[in-house]
Amino acid sequence: MPVHDFDDDHAAYARRGGGRSGGGRRARRFDDDEPLLLKRTGPAPTAAVDPDLDRPDDGARWSSWDQAVHGPAPHPDWLVTELAATDTELGVLKTGKEADVHLVRRGIPDTDRSCLLAVKRYREPEHRLFHRDAGYLEGRRVRRSRENRAMEGRTAFGRKMIAGQWAAAEFAALSQLWELGNKLGSIAVPYPVQLLGTELMLEFVGDADEGRAAPRLAALRPDPDLLRRLWDQLVDALVVLARAGLAHGDLSPYNLLMHGERLVLIDLPQVVDVVANPTGRDFLARDVRVVSTWFAARGLPADLVDPAALTAVLLREAGLR
């Protein structure tokens, strides 16, 4: 199997339309202090629902679409945006220390128009938040010193702000990467449907007919040809992130879904600005090391998945070397 030539690969990638726009300008850097969408529309309202409001006859809730910050336009055709829609809870897809992910069907009663959504609900402030949140929050600052002090001191108010930052950061990162994926075709993430307080609604990635989520890469044993194609997909996705000045921050085979033969990146609340964060390079290098180790253990040659070589490429793409 030939040695992977990063420079040749990404020269070809640039010819396909990736990389910086004309004149050498870099992609807009993600602002995880005040995401662009929130700057334009104002802060998302609280996700709390008045229990006295009338419910649909079947016990579901009315769609919260009209209350929320919306994902990038134009919205996908499959997405139900009608105000007459209801949201029906179908179960839990995943539980975690920081958030739980639920499966919800949004549909218009008495019609066949519906879609499945993955709804990520971050923990209330009294629950444990990210165990490494201090490192991830480096480089994220709000403009008012009171809020900064509260976040740094982990007061109750500060913890609530941090929870909101995780949801807003993930929503903004997914919005940016979704638009880049549509333009370049080199990265796949779930479509970010809406943000309401600390609740994030996402495209469900999996078998919609059976409500079965796409498997995580960690659970699979791809054959050698597919393994190589998946590695190439991952490298392209990491280049897109780097050119946007970002690192996933917690990348592993558990945060990569395989939908058909397409890798989909998930779980991006801790996305790191590799320039603004003093340890951004370290987060990027760790992401590469973890996934390189997994692919090497599955049989790809060590020189193809050399983490030092790929890290150097990504740092150059981010403008740090």
Tell me if residue 94 falls in helix, strand or coil.
strand
What are the b/e assignments for 182-219, b being 16+ CB within 10 Å? eebebbbbbbbbbbbbbbbbbbbbbeeeeeebbebbee
d(CA 110, CA 101): 27
Q: Who contacts 22 (Cβ-Cβ below 8 Å, separation ≥6)?
A: none
Residues in the chain: 321
Question: Could you give the angle at which helices 6-15 and 307-317 cross, rounded to 10 degrees?
Answer: 40
Residue 282: count other Cβ atoms within 10 Å of its Cβ: 14
Query: Are 12 and 239 a contacting pair, CB within 8 Å?
Result: no
Query: One-letter amino acid identity for 11?
Result: A
Task: Using alpha carbons, select from 30, 35, 288 the residue that is nearest to residue 180.
Answer: 30
Could you list the active site residues? 250, 267
Q: Which residues pair with 62 in a beta bridge?
A: 86
Tell me if residue 153 falls in helix, strand or coil.
helix
Q: What tokens does 4 get?
A: 């992977």
